[in-house]
Structure 1
Amino acid sequence: MAHTAPARTGPRTTHHPTIPLRANLLLPALAGIVYGLWTSGIARHAGPITGWNVLLGVISALAFAAAAHGIHTIAPRLPRELRAATWAAFAGIAFGFVYSLTDAGIVKTVGLSLVITAGVFAVVFYRYYTTED
């Protein structure tokens, strides 16, 4: 014969996960480090490492991480269209800056940035549209 499990006798403890908070800070920081290394590497043009390359990489990493963290913080309060547009603009600007360091023409840089922006917008909008409550 089946029996019920005994009831809990002690006080109930609630577990508040800290992983989302850590991820909210850790992911933009790691992405900023990668972006800064990528930026400084492209700006070197296969030459020696200089202080200006390092400074460009550090400033790019800080700006990227701060912008990504800001978007992570603000985006949940935005409607899905504006949220997708925000992430798309962020991706397009980040790509455009790095691509402009390759000494490519302005028309090609803007064109590729717009393609990246449109692609990111389509993917992110689809994700938010299909998973929204």
Structure 2
Amino acid sequence: MAHAAPRSRGTTRQVRPIRTPDIFDERVHRMAQVGIPVVLGLVYGYWAAANRRGGGPVTGWNILFGFVTAIVFIVLCLAVAAFAPLLKRELHSLTKSAFAGASVGFLYSQSGDSVLRSAALGIAVTAGVFGVFFYRYYTREDAAGNRIR
């Protein structure tokens, strides 16, 4: 038969479980919502400017083009991140994938290749990203669009 273990008669103290520090709290998420598009935009602007100059010298117009491209990318990325989750899963997937495809197509067009090849690459990227995002949202939402936890 099993018996209870004897307990000391001294004072019993409450032992709290040790919590690990929460390094990804709400404040970090708010900073990342803006910080990640800014970093991606700066990299994208530099990449577009480098594609456009094609190994030639860096000029003031090239730097201006890179910064304007970065600002437009940042604004569009923030807009997609803010408004796409409000849509149904099909349109949500299509919005994000269209942004990714257009971004890749624009980068490719800056290298001086034909517009048709840039459009074909953008459409191919859009189709691939759409498949991934649609699968992700389709398997993690119910029919009403509510997230399944």
Residue in 1 that maps onto 2:88: 79
Gaps of 5+ in 2: 1-6, 16-24, 142-147
Deviations 1:1-31 (A, max 9, x none): 5x7948xxxxxxxxx7211111110110010
Residue in 2 that maps onto 1:70: 79
Choose the corresponding residue for 1:27, options 36, 39, 42. Answer: 36
Deviations 1:64-99 (A, max 9, x none): 011111111112211111110001110111111111
Residue in 2 that maps onto 1:108: 117
Gaps of 5+ in 1: 7-15
Q: TM-score, normalized by length of structure 1?
A: 0.86
Alignment partner of 1:120 is 2:120: no
Residue in 2 that maps onto 1:12: none
Task: Tell me the secondary structure at the aligned position of residue 26 of structure 2.
Answer: coil
Structure with the larger RCO, 1 or 2 (CA within 8 Å, 6+ apart):
1
Alignment partner of 1:36 is 2:25: no
CA contact (8 A) 2:52 2:112 kept: no
User: How much has 1:131 moved relative to structure 2?
Assistant: 2.1
Name the CA distance, whole Å, in 2 between partners of 1:115 and 1:66. 24
Identity percentage of aligned residues? 38
CA contact (8 A) 2:48 2:69 kept: yes
RMSD (Å) for aligned C-alpha atoms: 1.8
Name the CA distance, whole Å, in 2 between partners of 1:32 and 1:40. 12
Determine which structure has more spread, i.e. the larger CA radius of gyration: 2
Task: Tell me the secondary structure at the aligned position of residue 18 of structure 1.
Answer: helix
User: How much has 1:130 moved relative to structure 2?
Assistant: 1.8
Q: TM-score, normalized by length of structure 2?
A: 0.77
Letter in 2 for 1:32: G
